[in-house]
Amino acid sequence: MTSNNSDASTNTDTSSASSVTSSLGPLDLEKGQGTKEQSIEEIVASLGDTVGKTRVDNPKMSATGVDVFYADKQAIFGVDLDIANNEVISMIGPSGCGKSTLLRCLNRMNDTIPICKVTGELTLDGEDIYGRDTDPVLLRARVGMVFQKPNPFPKSIYENVAYGPRLHGLSRNKSELDDIVITSLRKAGIFEEVKDRLDAPGTGLSGGQQQRLCIARTIACSPEVILMDEPCSALDPIATAKIEELINELSENYAIAIVTHSMQQAARVSQRTAYFHLGKLVEVGHTADIFTNPRHELTEKYITGRFG
């Protein structure tokens, strides 16, 4: 299934080996040599097809044989993955493993990087999103994104949420727009905190509030899929808990893909988990299975904190 072509893996062999070595502690190295346990380099070199079920019954988005290149450097190698309706899928893996890159491919945010090239097939409801007829603007209205750092516009809270609907002409008049703004803020669980100061600048909120404002802004466009790129990495545990709760609620209506460095977070919010390593999708499966019974050696090593 995975088109793990040989020349691509040799291409990155040297760089991958060194980066993995550096991420290992001295103890791991000593242990790896001489014993029957394989070293990380050996495992990576022998990476084969993705372990686990990459396909689901009701895919909202699906990727087939996706390769991503930044100029000559390949960042993602033949990834197959489905994102199901009304489900949260979390993507985990060490830094630089390509999980954010894949996420950004899903709403073509990578288009802004001129040296980035995407091959393979990515579909939304069966339509090729990199196809000639697909408009990235429309795609991004359907596939919303929440970023790592809260990035509200330097405008009022109201304007932040109203921007998307206004852009796409989703409301016919002021009162409809007001409704959208209030509903979105309410869905994002921030309305009670800001209802008295909708005219205050969005940048004046706390980090957690800003991130929820960004989520409200995203759902105001009524997207079908929400992509989240480490949405809690800049937040404290209380704000994180609020966002996670919110993700749980949102998963009833949206397909959500979340990139995270926190395995606890992945375990808490997602139904399925995909583990990436050096641009390859190593294992995918139900979250409970991945964390309690990983089938691939690398996954096991990662979730038990042996590297990463």
Partner 1 sequence: MNHTDPTDSETSDADRSSTDTLGMTRSDTTAKVKASIKKRYARERRFRLYGLIAILSSLSFLAILVFTITKNGLPAFKQTFIQLDVTLDAKTLGLGDEPDQAQLLKANYNGTIKKALLAQFPDVKKRKDKKALYKLISKGGQYDLQRQVMESPDLIGQSKTVWLPAGDDASGYLKGMVDVTIPEKKRRFKDNQIEWIESLKQDNRVAERFNWTFFERGDSREPEMAGIKGALFGSILTLMVTLILSFPIAVASAIYLEEFAPRNKWTDIIEVNINNLAAVPSIVFGLLGLAVFINFFQLPRSAPVVGGLVLSLMTLPTIIISSRAALKSVPPSIRDAALGLGASNLQVVFHHVLPLALPGILTGTIIGMAQALGETAPLLMIGMVAFIVDVPATITDPATVLPVQIFQWADLPEKGFVEKTSAAIMVLLAFLVAMNTFAVILRRKFERKW
**Positions that interact with partner 1 (CB under 8 A):** 107, 109, 112, 114, 137-141, 144-145, 147, 149, 151-154, 163-164, 167-168, 201, 203, 214, 217-218, 221
Smallest distance, partner 1 to C-beta of residue 124, A = 14
Alpha carbon distance 241, 233 (integer Å): 12
Give 107's contacts (C-beta < 8 A, 6+ positions apart). 129, 136, 139, 140, 143, 144, 145, 225, 227
Smallest distance, partner 1 to C-beta of residue 36, A = 34
Alpha carbon distance 223, 245 (integer Å): 19
Q: Which is nearer to partner 1, 97 or 145 (CB)?
A: 145
Q: Which is nearer to partner 1, 40 or 214 (CB)?
A: 214
Smallest distance, partner 1 to C-beta of residue 87, A = 21
Smallest distance, partner 1 to C-beta of residue 150, A = 9
Identify the DSSP state of 202: G
In single-letter form, the type of residue at position 9 comes to: S
Determine how many CB atoms are found less than 10 A away from the CB of residue 3: 15
Q: Which is nearer to partner 1, 168 or 306 (CB)?
A: 168
- Residue 219 CA to chain centroid, in angstroms? 16
Q: Which is nearer to partner 1, 65 or 201 (CB)?
A: 201
Smallest distance, partner 1 to C-beta of residue 112, A = 7
Q: Which is nearer to partner 1, 70 or 307 (CB)?
A: 70
Q: CA torsion angle for 291, 293, 299, 305 (degrees, to 10)?
A: 60
Smallest distance, partner 1 to C-beta of residue 110, A = 11
Q: Which is nearer to partner 1, 225 or 266 (CB)?
A: 225
CA–CA–CA angle 116, 119, 124 (5° rounding): 105
Structure tokens at 239: 């704000």
| Maximum distance among all Cα pairs of the chain, rounded to whole angstroms | 73
